[in-house]
Amino acid sequence: MKKKKDALKVLVVDDSKVVTRVLVNYLAGMGINHPFLAATGNQAIELFKSERPDIVLLDVQLPDIDGFDVSKAIRKLEVKGEWTAIIFLTSMANDEDLVRGIEAGGDDYLTKPVAQAVFHAKVRAMQRLIEMQRQLVQAKRKLDLANTKLKRISTTDALTGIANRRAFDEFSELEWRRCMRKGKPMALVMLDIDYFKLFNDKYGHQAGDDCLKMVAAKIAKATPRATDLCVRFGGEEFMLVLSETDLDGALCMAERVRQMVADLKIPHYATASKHVAVSCGVVSVLPSEELSLEALVKSADVALYMAKRGGRDRVVAGEYGKV
């Protein structure tokens, strides 16, 4: 038969078998039938590491190290969001010991010999605090998940599912500074679907939305590195952020994307190939304090304009600062 799991995990630390037996019986009266037992401070610390009890009933005087040092060790072992109730067991109850116990991380005291009614009251009080702490941790986790979801929504384009302009602003600034620190180049590829307004007028807005989704999926597939980002920059315009990438590397990436979009074979009467195509403007620069990300974006825009003026469905290399 499967053993019922205790609601609380309790560690009893006392070198007296008589005291330990009394405390175990007290706990059983509260429905806590399987406490962990330690007779020394070092045993207590090892049990804490392996079992992570909710409550530690800790004798002050132990054969190896005293309970104050055990309490300090437990507090150091606790991880963020974790709290263990520590109740000292002692035959001493002077102010000095109380202060020392609190400073060592203790939460309460029980004076030996321990009365059952007092024991039950103090353990129940700690149980209420533990439940409150668990609820707070659970609430924080839910809040963190909600914030993560909200962050993801706020930086994702609703139609295509790729990053949006806000994500570009945040990511590109971080990568600009990172490349500056590392002395590595950073490249941008600005893409635009050729004659997209004519596509919408001819095939309808639903077909236009489907086209944007398919193109976005291809572009995103071409940028698998964590240091790259594919963005819907606005309307039918996209941007690739390519960290640690020189101009030659960025040109290769842009040509790959251009070909991937062409391979979709989405019909478009207004293009020379009679299929949806993209124009790409490419720039790369070694970030420095004298240069700016804003100027790099403008340079990519100019390169894209040159690609369109040059006949569309092509990749054109731009030059930083050329407007």
pLDDT band for position 53 (50/70/90)?
A: very high
* Res. 2: pLDDT tops 60: no
Residue 119 parent element (H or E): helix 116-154
Residue 257 parent element (H or E): helix 247-263
Buried b or exposed e, range 30-39, using 16+ CB within 10 angstroms: bebeebbbbb
Above pLDDT 90, what percent of the chain? 74
- Please give the residue range of the domain that contains residue 49: 10-147
Do 83 and 206 belong to one domain? no
67 within some domain: yes
1 within some domain: no
Do 244 and 124 belong to one domain? no
Residue 232 tokens read as: 């819907």
* Res. 167: pLDDT tops 80: yes
Do 138 and 203 belong to one domain? no
Using only C-alpha atoms, the chain has a radius of gyration, in whole angstroms, of 33
Round the average pLDDT of the chain to a whole number and report it.
91
Task: Give mean pLDDT, residues 218-241.
Answer: 91
Predicted local confidence at residue 112, as pLDDT: 87
Predicted local confidence at residue 90, as pLDDT: 85
Query: Which residues are catalytically annotated?
Result: 236
Contact between 255 and 315 (Cβ < 8 Å): yes
3 within some domain: no
CATH number at residue 313: 3.30.70.270
If one counts the domains in the chain, the total is 2
279 within some domain: yes
Do 234 and 136 belong to one domain? no
Query: What pLDDT digit, counting tens, does each position of 76-131 carry?
Result: 999 887 899 999 998 766 777 778 888 888 999 888 888 999 999 999 999 999 88
198 within some domain: yes
| Amino acid letter, 141 | R
Do 97 and 227 belong to one domain? no
CATH number at residue 118: 3.40.50.2300
Task: Give mean pLDDT, residues 173-199.
Answer: 96
pLDDT band for position 138 (50/70/90)?
A: confident
211 within some domain: yes
Do 50 and 135 belong to one domain? yes
Residue 235 tokens read as: 């309307």
179 within some domain: yes
Phi, psi (rounded to 5 degrees) for 155 = -115, 15
Do 170 and 217 belong to one domain? yes
2 within some domain: no
